A = this chain, B = another copy of it.
Amino acid sequence: MIGLTEILENIGTFAFAISGIRLAAKKDFDLFGAYVVGLVTAIGGGTIRDLCIGETPFWMLNANYLIWSGVALLFVILFRKYLIHLNITFFIFDTIGLALFTVVGIEKTLGAGYDFWVAIVMGCITGAAGGVFRDIFINEIPLIFRKEIYAIACIIGGFVYYVCHLTGVDNSWSQILCAFSVAATRIIAVRFRIGLPHIKGEQE
């Protein structure tokens, strides 16, 4: 099980970094800039979580995350022309990352002794805040605030986890069901083009 989590986490890091690097490429970043945007997309959320719960940022304890972001950079450089054909693959990887990061965020926050509602918030931050950093770095309004069902998927996953917890479901199963509901929410939302309603301005 540990082996699987690690593989999934690396896939998630890779996919998150790819999304940052591709957007950086559209904005004419240099290689270093693209790497940083990719890295921050991958590790930004978990870093905020760790600072808030008083732990050392996870990526400072294991060089994997820096390395996988570098692999993502190399991948984008080498396969630039084929990336567009891999969009569905990246979407799946990204969704795996989102689901897993949410579970990791919830677990780690509960492990540090916080309330469940804090853990759900931290699960959401772990999954979604990296994309906010990415969009701030490329000077755009964060995508997840306007377009996609993304952070909401993390929150739904968090509630599923909580219900499992209340009803005495075994911990491994809680994690699997949480991850599954994050991924399912996101996939259904994208497949059927479901988005949140927008808030209306006053001038209308």
Chain B proximity mask over A49-62: 1 for CB below 8 Å, otherwise 0: 00111101100100
A141–B27 Cα gap in the complex (Å)? Answer: 9
Interface residues in chain A, defined as those with a beta carbon under 8 Å from any beta carbon in chain B? 21-22, 24-34, 36-37, 47, 51-54, 56-57, 60, 63, 66, 73, 76-77, 80-81, 83-84, 114-115, 117-118, 121, 132, 136-142, 144-147, 151-152, 195-203
Using known A-B contacts A52-B57, A57-B52, A121-B66, determine if residue A145 contacts B32 with beta carbons closer than 8 Å: yes
Using known A-B contacts A60-B52, A60-B114, A114-B60, determine if residue A33 contacts B144 with beta carbons closer than 8 Å: yes
A146 touches B54 (CB 8 A): no
Q: Which of A30, A139, A144 has the most CB of B within 10 A?
A: A30
B30 touches A196 (CB 8 A): yes
A202 touches B30 (CB 8 A): no
Query: How many copies of the chain does the oligomer comprise?
Result: 3
B31 touches A202 (CB 8 A): no
B139 touches A141 (CB 8 A): yes
A93–B17 Cα gap in the complex (Å)? Answer: 35
Q: Which of A24, A36, A47, A145 has the most CB of B within 10 A?
A: A145
| Given A28-B201, A30-B197, 9 more pairs with CB closer than 8 A | A25-B201, A31-B196, A31-B197, A33-B142, A51-B52, A52-B57, A60-B121, A66-B121, A81-B202
